[in-house]
Structure formats: structure tokens, C-alpha cells
Amino acid sequence: MPELPEVETTLRGIAPFVEHQKIVDLTVRQPRLRWPVTENIQDIVRGQNIRQLTRRAKYILLGLDKGSILIHLGMSGSLRIVEPSEDWRKHDHIEMQLNNNQALRYHDPRRFGCWLWSHTEHAQLSHLGPEPLSNEFDGDRLYSASRSRKMAVKPFIMTNSVVVGVGNIYATEALFRSGIRPDRAACKISKKRYDVLAKNIKGVLAAAIHQGGTTLRDFVNSDGQPGYFQQSLDAYGRAGKPCKLCKTSLKELRLGQRSSVFCPKCQT
């Protein structure tokens, strides 16, 4: 589910129910996530107000009176608002009860996500590159960061110290839109082409956010609605199908253990 647009969609969906509420209690049924859930987190956060929800990369931050909770959805996590009486489903690991008589429920079959409280800045956020939708991120940035990089451009743009929030789906789509082969060496791409690529990374992420994210398998956002970006995917998941521009059969290769689909004619 969650790449940046899905995280942003989730954040926007839950924020109206969560912001400015007081945490009545927190229930942790399964503390073994990517990292163990912060010890005694219930005692720390009980009675605190949630001042604001923000996003950094694919992390959601709940800013409390004292410190903050860092949430990541990993590869299979989701957050939704539930009524307090709602039955627990398999893989519902955490519930935060709020004083508006609703609760925030965390569901994560693969348990690659996290729930961490910290009084100071979270270590996970300290070495992150720029947000892709910010003005800090542009073709200049990609060009200068790539000069010493022999690695393929696709894993390069998925590297968090270069730019955050570009996962496998949107990396695949941005490269298709830019006409750049995913296995081209990052250091051999011109400034001009990086300008195009940076614009397309922004464009594809913004479009996906606008459409409520991409629905893969069973992803629904916090309102229970699917994302509609899937129908806009040009390359991801379309190996063997005709290119939407030139009808050539799309090819697939693996880069850094990730499937990468591209058009051998349009992408050079």
C-alpha cells in the first residue's frame, strides 16, 4: 500500500478525527514491529493532547504536548478511524482511544511498520534527503547528487538520502514519463534529463495524491475508499503489455531486487 501518496492520503483522512483530541488510552496488542513499540508508550502518551499531524518522507508524526509518535506503515500497514466497539481483526496491532469517542486503529500484516515515541527528534528522520514536492528538490539537486554514482538511476532516485518518498511504483512511472531507462547509470544522465525527471517525480506524486493514492491488492484509505491512481499507471505492473505511447511490449528487469518495467523503445 503505502508509498508517499498513500501515506499522505491516510494522513489527510485521519487528521480531522485525531488532531486536537486528547489520548484517553493506547492499547498495544502486538509490540513486535520493525522495531519494538516504545516501552510503556501507553503510560507516556495517556492524557496527552495531539497537537498536530505531519508527514516527513513516508513517516507520519503525531505531535503531542510532550514529544511525538513516529508511525511508519511499512509495506502493508494501514490506519483507520473506528468506533470503540468495533471488533478486532487479525493483524490489528494497536489502537489509540480518543476523547471524541473514536479510535485510531493500526493494522499491519507484515509488521514492517513502527510506532515509536521520542521526546526529541527521531533518529529515523536525521539523514533524510529533501521532500520531493518541495522547492528544495529539483533537477539540479539530482544532477549534483548523481555525479559520483555509478548505480542505476532507478535505485538512485529511490535512495532516501537523495530524495525521500519515491518508492517502486512511482519511480517506475516517473522514469517512463521521462523516457529514461531504469538501468541507465545515474552518473551518465544529463542535467537536462534530470530536470525532466525531477518534474515528472513531482507530477506523478502530485497526481497520485490528487486521486487518493494507488490501490494495490486491498488498499483502502482511512475512509474505506480505494485509491484511483492505479488506472493511471503506464508502466508499473504492465510487463508484457503494449506501451501506451508506441505499442511496443513492455519489458521487465530486476534492479536491487526490485521489479522494474520499462518500454525498450521510448526509454533510452
Please list the active-site residues: 2-3, 58, 258
Distance, first Cα to last Cα, the chain: 29
Q: Give yes or no for residue 97 binding DNA (CB under 7 A).
A: no
Measured from the CB of residue 25, what is the shortest distance to DNA in angstroms? Answer: 26
Is residue 105 packed enough to be buried (19+ CB in 10 Å), middle (13-18) or exposed (0-12)? buried
Cα 206 from Cα 189, distance rounded (Å):
24
Q: Give yes or no for residue 79 binding DNA (CB under 7 A).
A: no
> Pick from 61, 81, 82, 169: which binds DNA (CB under 7 A)?
169
- N residues, the chain: 268
Q: Give yes or no for residue 133 binding DNA (CB under 7 A).
A: no
- Which candidate, 194, 102, 202, places its Cα nearest to that of 143? 194
Restricting to residues 59-78, name those near DNA by CB under 7 A: 59, 72, 74-76
- Which candidate, 61, 41, 36, 40, places its Cα nearest to that of 51? 61
> Pick from 29, 110, 188, 241: which binds DNA (CB under 7 A)?
110
Cα 4 from Cα 206, distance rounded (Å):
10
Measured from the CB of residue 236, what is the shortest distance to DNA in angstroms? Answer: 7
Q: Give yes or no for residue 90 binding DNA (CB under 7 A).
A: yes
Cα 225 from Cα 231, distance rounded (Å):
15
- Residue ranges in contact with DNA by CB under 7 A: 1-3, 6, 32, 34, 57-59, 72, 74-76, 90-91, 109-112, 124, 148-152, 155-156, 160, 167-169, 214-217, 219, 256-259
